[in-house]
Structure 1
Amino acid sequence: MTVPLTDTVPPSTVEQLTGVLLGPEFRHEHGFWQRLISTEPFRRPAGGTPEERLELAYDRLRILNHCLDSGARLASDPRALAALHAWLGPVDPALTTVAGIHYNLFLGTLLDHGCVGRRDLSDYLTMRRIGTYLCTEVAHGNNAAAMETTATYDRERDGFVLHTPNAGAQKFMPNTSPAGGAKSGLVAARLVADGGDHGVRLFLVPLTDDVRPLPGIRVRRLPARMGSPVDHCLTSFDRLFVERDALLGPGEPGDVQAEFRTGPGDRRRRFLTSIGRVTPGRISMSACAAGSARATLAVAVRYGGHRVISGTRGAPPVPVEAHRTHHGPLASAMATVFAMSLLSRRAQERWEACTDEVGRSEAAGLVDVAKAWITWRAREVIVESRERCGAQALLENNGMTELVTGVEGAITAEGDNIALYAKAAADMLFAAVPGGDDGPDRDQRPGDLADPRFLGRLLASVQDIWFARARERVLRTPDADADADALGRWNAASGPALRGVEAYAYRQAAEAYAEARAALPEGAARDRLGELERLFAVEWVARNSGDLLARGLLSGDQVDALAESREELIAAVATHARELADSFALPEELLADWPIAGPGYADAYDDPRGRWHDSPANAR
């Protein structure tokens, strides 16, 4: 019997830890998605070809949309979009991709451009037409300065002619095929009017009907992509005329001058507005990666308790999780998954809290770094969890293979990770406090490895060390010709600067841990979170112990003690691994669809015609 929570029944340890991972309002923010993926339409089907799985993804998209009270409300709420990605990601990566494109990139951009009340959005809200987003070009990525697709203003017809001038200008990877039904897209193109280039703008363009691309539009499916079967395509335009109201912009209909005016900074501002949904998209990619990592780790923890192996020297059989070689990597993964989840929330909350342009820019920088760091760590956790489950985790019915390949998409989607790190490194390189490896005000007092505050200071020092090295390399690079040597200076500094960004991400995650622990009351949940926090920090400090020792921030005895401290923390975390995995709040219906998550996993491979189903005599 389940005892309902009341004011007199305190939350359990698991419930408190769920609140740490998903936020204090997790029932309100995440409950809808937990319930949705527990329903029959979202249960895992058996097998299916890639085309059948793609069709299923679009069918599920329509079911999802029907369950919403408002698609526009979802599109305007970054928290809801992040929750969608966190819960749908482990269930159906293809569905997650097309839902993110439709609600965030397409509908969200229309809302950001003030289209409510000025345009009829009913086709997109009811999904009579599915939305997609066409920005990236084959030869140019999202490099606006090099974008070649044009939209030339035709004054006589008062509209635009969309054109793809060469193969390199084809739009790359949008889901523009007729699969799933009729589609419209937001197309980024260079606006040309009266002989002038007015920068990259967005145009709302019908692309297909239910069967084929519309006249003037060519759509070709790309080769099969690793992971989920989304209909990624190459899309081009052959002098396609669109009405003037296809252009998204601030002007009123018919106000040509207002639409085309490009004062100082207008082009950049308009382009940034056009791609403004990238930041909520990166928040969603972080949530998706963290959710997928939680799911695979939960399955690995459960399987480790179910899978029994022979004991040593005639001892009784033991679950595989009893071995340090098995539970050690999963304990480290658990500390990382909590860090990923906490950093994802920290970045999102910082971005939501900022209203001024400077603060929003800094918060967006944290979102960028968090997206890259979280998706990279998710790959490590997912691969480790898969490996701990052996050959059975390579089978599609056990749910992990799609997530192993799916996380690769998250690493590239909404900005390649290395590019995000490089931008952050360039922004932070000279913003880092000059004056020495450890900054002028860094606390240099010796401390105790059991003290999270001391570990936090060490993490901050690692960041200082790498940025100091990057600055030193810049200063050693000749600068006779500033323009010619800019790339040389960056190349000299980029290696250590990227390490500095990585250290910044670890530091931010550690600070998120500390804040979450401080918010918990004394008790078991706080103890569990403290063990995870220290394990996370100790492992990072150990990786950088040589630098910290060289600068007198760690003693030789402390470096020796790091290994023992790590082993003690692994043992503590592993003892509570199942409880920690339960705090992920994954629905039992989801886990039931992955055989190795349950104790009867071998039954999934039973042969109904096997002789063991006969009488004992026949079986012999």
Structure 2
Amino acid sequence: MASLSSTTIPSVTVPLAATPLFKRANPALSLDERTEITYQRARAISRAYKLTAQDVVFLRPKFWQLHTDQISPMDGAATTLITIQYNLAAGTLAPFAFKRADLQPLLKQIMDFDVSAQFLLSEVGHGLDSPNLETTATLLPSGEFDLNTPSPSAAKWMPPTAPKGGMPRVAIVIARLMVNGENRGVRPFVVALGDGQQMCKGITSKVLPTRAGAKPVDHALTYFDHVRLPAQALLGSLDMPQDLRQNFLSVIWRVGVGSLALSTLSITALKASVYVAGRYSIRRTVTGADGAPMPIIAFRTQQLPIFHTLAQVFVLEAYAKSAAEQFISPNIDPRVRHGIAATLKAVMLQHCQSSLYSLAERCGAQGLFEHNQIIESQLEMRGVAIAEGDVLALCIRLASELLIGRYEMPAPADPTSLLARHEAGLFDEARQVVANLGEGHRSEGFNRLILPLCQPLIEAIGHRMAYEAAVKAKVNPDLIALYVAGVVKYDASWYIEYLGLGRRAIHEMEDRALTVALPHLEDLLEETGARPYCIAPIVSDESWEGFVQSLPHFGGDASMQLIPGTMAQTAGSPYETPISRL
């Protein structure tokens, strides 16, 4: 089978993955010690890439490569810090720094990771409705600003802001600009949070418990108690914008970039996890009918999730590159640009969550342990599904706007393909529901009958786009066929009802594609490029033996009598039990 991966140049992080810094952390370390390792890893990855501000602002290839680097599953928390640092904080600051010399030293510190930079937008009471955020920055007669958290619901939510990581911390804080009592919309402000040892005066960080299964990072609630900011802290104008909504979108433009960039982490999670599950399935044996050991990969039920994931890996890799090219096009409608990001995110996370669950399950009890990487990636990707735009919310907004005709997504290259016909069929059905309602998109009927359809609608667009990108990129046709078969199974009833595909025909489509790909399993696993980043003990006999030797072990000379009266008895005197007396 021809080479399938488009990644021919080894990543700059391959040597880094082999260093002691990226070895499995000792679970006996304290939370603070493990958090410190997370920051060290984030800094090491960042410095290996040497991104420039131009790479970030103009979305050059190196920016996308950072987000698809396979070192990401080794420490999802480090990746969180990196994407906040560069995409959100540096990406927001840099366009202003290009025009303001006073901001350039700070930008350089952020790009060099000499400081930890955060982006504070969402609040406890304002996530999806962040345009209604409460944090205020009030212009004072001196030209300074008073930054304040007016209520508990206005606490900034999630970004790591505590004095951790041993470096100074700054933030881009999104707040309502208040001038003479007038709300002039949101603006970004540069705020010093702490010197690495303690918080700055008037700022409080309350560190949240660690997320389930995730590497530790100091997610926090952050409060401002009338913090005085210099006039230079404002990024932008004091003037009232003509359109408050457009102003909000322009201020948080990097969130849209993050929707696309963070979603591509799905590819790295899938690669690492399928490599672990695939290698384990080749290595793990059961006793066959003839008494000989038989690898569990011989079972179709083991092959199916592994090969479907491999097909997704190579198809989604092509899709991500195609989507990034469309996203950065200067001629694209900004609404379509956001639609491309939302669509990619919907499909990436759909495949990632379902496949990681199946892969972990096929590893049995081994799949439950985070040291085997799969379930850890699954839980990390739960966070990605929410970060930079909740998937469902993005789908509802996009599908609603498409159904009421505000704009259109790129049309299918081949309207006759199975996936294009599925997309068209779902939209025809939804449009008929809208027409029958005869009400606006904010009506109760729309809420009841259309909102539940929105995510499948957007996923259908994404499936078609992924397929077309893979065809254009010349991904192996057998893997494309297997990908299509897997997507058809998501909504088999539609294909049966509208295209006349029988259930048996769908299974045969899947069977043919998998049978052709099966002999190439080992090659496909290596094509993922995941080997240098795989630290799961279950991938080989050697790594498993080393893992077992590293475990805490206990021994001793204790002796216990568990059942009284079971010691030696006199011949002819059977011990009487409650049962014998019945």
Query: Is the Cα–Cα contact under 8 Å of residues 467 and 484 in structure 2 kept in the other structure?
Result: yes
Equivalent residue number for residue 585 of structure 1: 529
Query: Is the Cα–Cα contact under 8 Å of residues 12 and 49 in structure 2 kept in the other structure?
Result: no
Residue 600 of structure 1 pairs with residue 581 of structure 2: no
Residue 56 of structure 1 pairs with residue 37 of structure 2: yes
Equivalent residue number for residue 319 of structure 1: 295
Distance 1:357 1:549 in 2: 36
Residue 339 of structure 1 pairs with residue 315 of structure 2: yes
Query: Is the Cα–Cα contact under 8 Å of residues 160 and 219 in structure 2 kept in the other structure?
Result: yes
| Aligned positions of 1:270-349 closer than 5 A | 270-312=247-289, 314-349=290-325
Equivalent residue number for residue 90 of structure 2: 107
Residue 41 of structure 1 pairs with residue 21 of structure 2: yes
- Structure 1's 576 and 493: CA in aligned 2 closer, same or farther, altered over 3 A? same
Structural RMSD (CA): 2.8
Query: Is the Cα–Cα contact under 8 Å of residues 71 and 103 in structure 1 kept in the other structure?
Result: no
Residue 98 of structure 1 pairs with residue 73 of structure 2: no
- Structure 1's 365 and 606: CA in aligned 2 closer, same or farther, altered over 3 A? closer
Residue 470 of structure 1 pairs with residue 430 of structure 2: yes
Equivalent residue number for residue 410 of structure 1: 384
Instruction: Return the TM-score normalized by structure 1.
Output: 0.81
Query: Is the Cα–Cα contact under 8 Å of residues 342 and 394 in structure 2 kept in the other structure?
Result: yes
Residue 506 of structure 1 pairs with residue 487 of structure 2: no
Query: Is the Cα–Cα contact under 8 Å of residues 397 and 594 in structure 1 kept in the other structure?
Result: yes
Could you tell me which of 216, 237, 246 is aligned with 2:224?
A: 237
| Aligned positions of 1:134-153 closer than 5 A | 134-153=120-139
TM-aligned CA deviation for residue 466 of structure 1: 1.5
Write the letter of the residue equivalent to 2:234. L
Equivalent residue number for residue 458 of structure 1: 418
SS at match of 2:229: strand
Distance 1:43 1:153 in 2: 49
Distance 2:377 2:455 in 1: 27
Query: Is the Cα–Cα contact under 8 Å of residues 136 and 148 in structure 2 kept in the other structure?
Result: yes
Query: Is the Cα–Cα contact under 8 Å of residues 135 and 188 in structure 1 kept in the other structure?
Result: yes
Equivalent residue number for residue 564 of structure 2: none
Instruction: Among all aligned residue pairs of Structure 1 and Structure 2, give the percentage whose two residues are the same amino acid.
Output: 28
Distance 1:218 1:459 in 2: 51
Write the letter of the residue equivalent to 1:491. R
Residue 489 of structure 1 pairs with residue 446 of structure 2: yes
Query: Is the Cα–Cα contact under 8 Å of residues 464 and 500 in structure 1 kept in the other structure?
Result: no
TM-aligned CA deviation for residue 292 of structure 1: 0.9
Query: Is the Cα–Cα contact under 8 Å of residues 12 and 48 in structure 2 kept in the other structure?
Result: no
Per-residue CA deviations over 1:150-171 (Å, capped at 9, x if unaligned) read 000002x211001111000110
Distance 1:464 1:477 in 2: 20
Query: Is the Cα–Cα contact under 8 Å of residues 173 and 191 in structure 2 kept in the other structure?
Result: yes
TM-aligned CA deviation for residue 117 of structure 1: 4.7
Equivalent residue number for residue 573 of structure 2: none
Query: Is the Cα–Cα contact under 8 Å of residues 78 and 280 in structure 1 kept in the other structure?
Result: no
Write the letter of the residue equivalent to 1:274. V
Write the letter of the residue equivalent to 1:173. M
Query: Is the Cα–Cα contact under 8 Å of residues 376 and 411 in structure 1 kept in the other structure?
Result: no
Distance 1:433 1:58 in 2: 42
| Aligned positions of 1:561-580 closer than 5 A | 561-580=505-524
Write the letter of the residue equivalent to 2:35. L
Write the letter of the residue equivalent to 1:137. E
Distance 1:177 1:433 in 2: 43
Query: Is the Cα–Cα contact under 8 Å of residues 188 and 235 in structure 2 kept in the other structure?
Result: yes
| Aligned positions of 1:424-463 closer than 5 A | 424-431=398-405, 457-463=417-423
Residue 72 of structure 1 pairs with residue 53 of structure 2: yes
Could you tell me which of 342, 345, 351 is aligned with 1:377?
A: 351
Could you list the runs of 5+ residues in structure 2 that have no partner in the other structure?
Answer: 555-582
Could you tell me which of 137, 155, 169 is aligned with 2:154?
A: 169
Equivalent residue number for residue 88 of structure 1: 71
- Structure 1's 385 and 50: CA in aligned 2 closer, same or farther, altered over 3 A? farther
Instruction: Return the TM-score normalized by structure 2.
Output: 0.86
SS at match of 1:420: helix
TM-aligned CA deviation for residue 188 of structure 1: 0.5
Residue 355 of structure 1 pairs with residue 330 of structure 2: yes
Query: Is the Cα–Cα contact under 8 Å of residues 38 and 587 in structure 1 kept in the other structure?
Result: no
- Structure 1's 73 and 543: CA in aligned 2 closer, same or farther, altered over 3 A? closer
Per-residue CA deviations over 1:225-260 (Å, capped at 9, x if unaligned) read 2222110010111111100100001xxxxxxxxx22
Query: Is the Cα–Cα contact under 8 Å of residues 38 and 216 in structure 2 kept in the other structure?
Result: no
Write the letter of the residue equivalent to 1:84. L
SS at match of 1:199: strand
Distance 1:384 1:581 in 2: 17
Distance 2:489 2:477 in 1: 18
